[in-house]
């Protein structure tokens, strides 16, 4: 019969019992929401911690898997598309705002074959309030809504033409 080595409390909870102040601050920030390495560095430096302390803290969190910019970027892409109804440019802007490195953004597959369909669904939800408007004003509003969410102009024009066909 095999016996398993029982993990010690330190192995089970690697950060418990640490007296490092920047580590406490960082873990409290991560309890609120996932953050990129850049966001954590900024928040820790804003709290007055030195560069060496911040580097040690970030390395420790990365080693234990509490910080992973690639996984965070993948979750943000999904969130931006599903919850925020963002187009490709909108998703890229969201990733830059959250401090995801450019190499990770470029490595992600941001091509979305359903982008036109998602834009149409988003506008159909908005269309109840738009139907009372004159046609030219409605087109401008649709263009503005989708443009602010990062959809490409050719997608916006395709959505507008599809909605025009359905209205007639």
Task: Work out the pLDDT band at 9, boundaries 50, 70, 90.
Answer: very low
Q: What's the rounded Cα separation, in Å, for the pair 109 and 147? A: 21
Per-residue model confidence (pLDDT) at position 60: 94
Q: Within the chain, what is the greatest distance between any pair of CA atoms? A: 79
Per-residue model confidence (pLDDT) at position 168: 46
> How confident is the prediction for the chain on average, in pLDDT?
87
| pLDDT at 16 > cutoff 80 | no
pTM: 0.80
**Under 8 Å CB-to-CB from 51, ≥6 apart: which residues?**
45
Question: For 80, left (φ over 0), alpha (ψ -120 to 50), or beta?
Answer: alpha
- Measured at the CA of 7, the angle between CA 56 and CA 11, to 5 degrees, comes to 10
pLDDT digits (tens, 9 = 90+) for 31-67: 999 999 999 999 999 999 999 999 999 999 999 999 9
Using alpha carbons, select from 67, 65, 64 the residue that is nearest to residue 44: 67
Q: Distance of CA 13 to CAs 7, 33, 121, 131, Å?
A: 10, 19, 45, 57
Please report, for the chain, the start and end positions of each structural domain, with discontinuous segments joined by +. Answer: 9-63, 69-107, 115-167
- Measured at the CA of 86, the angle between CA 98 and CA 121, to 5 degrees, comes to 155
> Residue range 115-136: average pLDDT?
86
pLDDT digits (tens, 9 = 90+) for 97-112: 999 999 999 999 888 8
| pLDDT at 10 > cutoff 70 | no
| pLDDT at 166 > cutoff 80 | no
Q: Distance of CA 155 to CAs 8, 31, 47, 131, 142, Å?
A: 56, 38, 44, 20, 11
> Residue range 1-14: average pLDDT?
56
> Residue range 17-43: average pLDDT?
88
pLDDT digits (tens, 9 = 90+) for 127-151: 777 888 888 898 999 999 999 999 9
Per-residue model confidence (pLDDT) at position 103: 95
Per-residue model confidence (pLDDT) at position 1: 56
């Amino acid at each position: 019969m095999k016996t398993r080595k029982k993990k010690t409390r330190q192995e089970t909870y690697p950060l418990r019992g640490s007296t490092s102040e920047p580590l406490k601050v960082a873990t409290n920030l991560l309890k609120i929401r996932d953050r990129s390495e850049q966001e954590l560095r900024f928040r820790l430096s804003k709290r007055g911690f030195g560069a060496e302390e911040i580097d040690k803290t970030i390395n420790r969190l990365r080693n234990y898997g509490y910080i992973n910019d690639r996984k965070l970027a993948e979750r943000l892409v999904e969130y931006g598309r599903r919850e925020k109804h963002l187009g490709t440019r909108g998703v890229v802007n969201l990733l830059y705002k959250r401090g995801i490195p450019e190499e990770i953004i470029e490595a992600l597959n941001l091509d979305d074959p359903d982008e036109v369909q998602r834009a149409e669904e988003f506008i159909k939800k908005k269309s109840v309030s738009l139907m009372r408007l004159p046609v030219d004003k409605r087109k401008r509003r649709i263009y503005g809504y989708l443009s602010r969410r990062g959809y490409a102009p050719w997608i916006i024009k395709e959505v507008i033409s599809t909605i025009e066909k359905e209205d007639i």
